[in-house]
Structure 1
Amino acid sequence: MNNQLKHNGYIGSIEACLEDNCLLGNVLFIKTLVSYEDKTVAELNVAFREANVRVGHDLHLATALAAPGKKVTLNNLTHQALSEFLQHNCADPCPAAS
């Protein structure tokens, strides 16, 4: 059984959170905390691959703490924020913003 994800030289953990009924993990062997979560292993793998975006420790921590209060995952909150940014700042239609 493999309990790690691998992508572009990074290794990520896979853990189950019974309280929240979700899977979560952290990118391993790096100095900053980079976490990801989702509902299925396939979705967790996508979240892990997308977790390579670096926003800085303080912003990441503040966002990670705010997400549960809004009843969204950190990944979904990030997706919403980036989509809103593209909708407001992209002169041409941005297919990635949908």
Structure 2
Amino acid sequence: MNNTIQYRGYIGSVEFSEEDGLFYGKVMGIRSLISYEGENAKALIDDFHGAVDDYLAMCEAEGRTPEVAYKGSFNIRISPELHKRLVIYTTAHNISLNRYIEDTLEKSPAAQAQ
């Protein structure tokens, strides 16, 4: 089962509340809260599409640029010792730390999924 849905470049989560008997979710990767719900899969998808469309229309009406999810920049925290070893390695191999991390992550199983 896939726990995400996509529309117009936005990715939404898919959750189920047994207590309420509803599917629900929110758009991931942006600060604005865009949520949706439905009693079945079709209703959830329809509400997700409507919520994204409403968000984009609101941004246009207010003259502001809609948030873009997953811009390609994020911060990670690692130990100072690992940071030092990585910098030494990448410097010795004449590559940037950023390029090394990107290449390493690109080979990970998570990056191969889809």
The TM-score with structure 1 as length reference comes to 0.53
1:39 partner letter: E
1:50 match: 50
2:46 partner letter: V
The TM-score with structure 2 as length reference comes to 0.46
State the identity %: 38
Count of residue correspondences: 56
Cα drift, residue 11 of structure 1: 0.2
Structure 2, gaps ≥5 residues long: 60-114
1:24-53 deviation per Cα after TM superposition (whole angstroms, max 9, x unaligned)? 000111111110001001110111001111
2:13 match: 13
RMSD between aligned residues: 1.5
SS in 1 for 2:19: coil
C-alpha separation in 2, matches of 1:24 and 1:10: 15
Structure 1, gaps ≥5 residues long: 57-98
1:23 match: 23
2:5 partner letter: L
Cα drift, residue 3 of structure 1: 1.0
Larger Rg: 2
